[in-house]
Structure 1
Amino acid sequence: MGMSNALGLTAAQTKMREAGVNQAAIDVFSHYYGELEAGATGLILEETIEPLTDPTRLDGVEVDDEAARAALAKTVIIKLNGGLGTSMGMDRAKSLLPVRGEQSFLDVIVGQVQRARKATGAHLPLLLMNSFRTRDDSLEALAAHRGLAVEGLPLDFVQNKEPKLLVDGLTPVEWPQDPDLEWCPPGHGDIYTAILASGILDALLEAGFRYASVSNSDNLGAVPNARIAGWFAASGAPYAAELCERTAADRKGGHLAVRKADGQLILRDTAQTAPNEMHYFTDEHHHPFFHTNNLWWDLEKLRAALTERGAVLGLPLIRNTKHVDPTDKESPEVFQIETAMGAAIEVFEGATAIVVGRDRFLPVKTTNDLLVLRSDAYELQDDGALRLAVRKAPVVDLDPAFYKTMAEFDARFPHGAPSLREASSLTIKGDWTFGKNVVVRGTVVLQDDDGQRNAIANGTLLDGVVMEG
């Protein structure tokens, strides 16, 4: 270990301690710092894995109704809410974005939980894992919903934070113009450290809860589900992941595979795939199922595994290279040491997976996704889930030069989304602003290269057209 790096780790540990980060999180960070320094890249090579080809399917299992109800009655709903929507130009919780009229993602999630409570009689506590940047806003938004909190349980816990490290030298980056940017969350794999160290895991078990249904707050498909809860409880597994069948549109998402060395199920993400092996990763026929990041945990078995291993579960490292200020490509390059929540499939003995319907996976990563969800191609159903109102979701491709950030996007759709119910695809190149009650039908392409703004008038029907600005 070179002198400079010993100093780098010590400087990072000191910085974390001074910021009040708990010791368990410092231990975990130190473990990964050691791996990073030893040259670990976190890559999982194709020759070391085999595709997962025949997982259990929810539509093929028998679940007793009574057992399903009993399992849901002991289930807590946990949402990962640490994301800032930086890829959409936001600096606050992505879940606070309006997604249906005035309702935000969080409002829709609360509706799902409250409807499931009414329909099943289950307590269904809702628990957010916030980051230090999303906490205040999100709790304020939840406060508007009466009767949400379950007695004796909080509405959130906070994920840890760690210093971003300079690629050059592995020392904590200094960025005086915005010291907040010197920190990052340690990826959502931190949920295990955070739920244990915060005392929340013990509190849930003491209150009589046994299972957790965990998902991203930007995925409005992951509604409380008694059937999956019943299947999971009966499986006796400590941990299960929901999978969906991959289509050509799912080339980005992580997938499960079987490690040849020991037959263990593992998760592989894009950041863990070698650039020259991406063609295997993106081939939906080669790896036919993707990982939704909807997880189920047995809280007792989770606590046993965490206490036995100390806080360091040993999840595989993900080394992410970014700029300290993500909006400024001239700012120094940093490593963010991350782990993925779903990678825990390889550390819990007996962990399993189940293939669920595509309606349980509706992530919003870009303004393209958001436009479709805001449109009439989706409808809010009785259980509070957003589901497709048409056979196939329209494909939207907006010009990133004019629609990438929320500010740009909202300025160009001031009256909300056009009707996309009869659309197969909408492709926009250049700068186009939409009036109200615009209808898109079939395959529509709007093209303009001269940089002038074009307006689509109120009430326009765009029917299978290619329009030049």
Structure 2
Amino acid sequence: MSANGLELAIEKMRTAGVSEAAIEVFSHYYGQLESGATGMIPEDSIEPLSAPPMLDDVQIDEEQAREAMSATVIIKLNGGLGTSMGLDKAKNLLQVRDGKTFLDIIAQQVLQARERYDAPLPLLLMNSFRTQDDTLEALAKYPELAVDGLPLGFVQNQEPKLLADDLTPAEWPADPTLEWCPPGHGDLYTALLGSGVLDALVEKGYRYASVSNGDNLGAVPDARVAGWFASTGAPYAAEVCRRTVNDRKGGHLAVRKADGQLVLRESAQTPKEEMDFFTDEHRHPYFNTNNLWLDLVALKATLEERRGVLGLPLIRNEKTVDPANPDSPKVIQIESAMGAAIEVFEGATAICVGRDRFLPVKTTNELLLLRSDLYQLDEQGHLVAQATTPAVTLGKPYKLVRDFEARIPNPPSLIQATSLVVDGDVTFGKDVTVQGDVRVSASQPATVADGAVLTGEVNLDGAGQGE
């Protein structure tokens, strides 16, 4: 290892204007990384989470809910570019349905909730240095969004990628921006502190923050959840959902045996030989939605006490300096998960919510669901499911948004579908209906005809189109 890797990284961060709070956190994790820390959470160190309170059982009176909403701020993570889907700008600028982007729908949800609950409900977006400008430009058409002199966005910190062989900052003259990476969404707390936004919120009397991923349009401002969180007096809470066989890859909450504290375990923190425990939806029945609730006063006090370092578990992310070039130098990105902060706050809690509060779009599979007739967008900006969600699996030709849109310009009807698997390069015509369990296959480019009703196994080889 390099003897001066940390010093070089700190110098690079200071030259780029990175906040001292972020540098302090980076230095903390660098020390862990250098000492060989992996951030692993072995199965024998935890117990499964059992019987959290259910949102459906919560009784909150209207006045209590309104009072909580009046002290709540909405924070959305908006740093991702959606590179895995072939995007090169803020993922939340992607159109979801009815000509509206994620950001359009988020703005609609917030504005409608303000009117409904007569609450200021500020909206704050945690942007990255790659998404800040495009995002603010897109939101300029909503001048009424900004309230109380608060900014619409604050910028996530950046840190150097480290060469895997000696932990010195990577250099990539072909594109120097690729020498930098975000520190994972665990940077939320450091960015709130370093930007001055946390102090501003507390000074203006805001007590609670509802935090969620910008691509999860199910995480709408909810007075019942806000009222519940306020009533608990807890410093921190996580929304969880019951796991199904389709949720095996997501992080789950558990109870640490050593002290009974709630913890979050991600797949990257699970030893490879124990992944069967991690993916067992019966053993660990509740997954983390990344919808979080924070007591801002408690957060501020904790950050001040710890000099800005919450000490979240390290996530060691191994990549190449140029993600699109597998032959470029191997690097390590130091990351942390914002949901892992649940282990920092004594008295942190969780609540089990319905799947309607978890509608993320990570792949074109989920994008197809939201664009189809399975969902309708109501006046409040809520995506309302019209039927049980089918399992959708699209093949490699649909991975990138541009290729997906070229092949499925008109989403098929999925209301009567149980599952849809597309194996091959298939283009869908207009007014196609999927009924029950359907598998469409083709060994060469083929087309499903306009108005086709698909059932069972549909092999397009030789036909050229579905019937």
Higher mean displacement: 326-335 or 314-323? 326-335
Distance 1:262 1:444 in 2: 49
- Aligned: 1:98 with 2:90: no
Distance 1:425 1:91 in 2: 31
- Aligned: 1:202 with 2:196: no
Distance 1:446 1:59 in 2: 38
Distance 1:61 1:110 in 2: 27
Distance 1:290 1:461 in 2: 36
Higher mean displacement: 184-193 or 320-329? 320-329
Alignment match, 2:465: none
Distance 1:314 1:237 in 2: 20
Summarize deviations over 1:366-394 as a string: whole Å, max 9, x none.
Answer: 1111111111111113431113210x211
Superposition pairs for residues 175-186 of structure 1, below 5 Å? 175-186=172-183
Alignment match, 2:464: none
Query: What one-letter code is carried by the residue in structure 1 that aligns with 2:451?
Result: G
Higher mean displacement: 252-261 or 454-463? 454-463
Distance 1:381 1:271 in 2: 38
Distance 2:208 2:9 in 1: 35
- Aligned: 1:111 with 2:108: yes
Superposition pairs for residues 114-263 of structure 1, below 5 Å? 114-263=111-260
Alignment match, 1:345: 342
Superposition pairs for residues 365-380 of structure 1, below 5 Å? 365-380=362-377
Distance 2:450 2:330 in 1: 46
Summarize deviations over 1:3-31 as a string: whole Å, max 9, x none.
Answer: x4232111111111111111111111011
Quick one: which of 419, 427, 430 aligns to 1:425? 419
Quick one: which of 419, 441, 454 aligns to 2:446? 454
Distance 1:167 1:149 in 2: 43
Alignment match, 1:19: 16
**DSSP-derived class of the 2:247 partner:** coil
Distance 1:44 1:381 in 2: 42
- Aligned: 1:404 with 2:399: yes
Distance 2:353 2:392 in 1: 25
- Percent sequence identity is 65
Structure 2: unaligned runs, 5 residues or longer: 462-467
Q: Report the TM-score, using the length of structure 1 for normalisation.
A: 0.96
Query: What one-letter code is carried by the residue in structure 1 that aligns with 2:138?
Result: A
Deviation at 1:465, TM superposition (A): 3.8
Q: What is the total number of aligned residue pairs between the two structures?
A: 461
Alignment match, 2:390: 394
* RMSD across aligned positions (CA): 1.1
Higher mean displacement: 185-194 or 373-382? 373-382
Deviation at 1:430, TM superposition (A): 1.1
Distance 1:183 1:289 in 2: 34
Q: Conserved in 2, the CA contact under 8 Å of 1:221 and 1:387?
A: no
Deviation at 1:62, TM superposition (A): 2.3
**Runs ≥4 in structure 1, deviation > 3 angstroms?**
none
**DSSP-derived class of the 2:125 partner:** strand
Distance 1:317 1:403 in 2: 34
Query: What one-letter code is carried by the residue in structure 2 that aligns with 1:65?
Result: E
Q: Conserved in 1, the CA contact under 8 Å of 2:446 and 2:460?
A: no
Distance 2:208 2:412 in 1: 41
Distance 1:137 1:304 in 2: 33
Summarize deviations over 1:219-268 as a string: whole Å, max 9, x none.
Answer: 00000011111111111111110011111111111111111111111000
Deviation at 1:468, TM superposition (A): 3.3
Summarize deviations over 1:119-141 as a string: whole Å, max 9, x none.
Answer: 11111111000000111111111
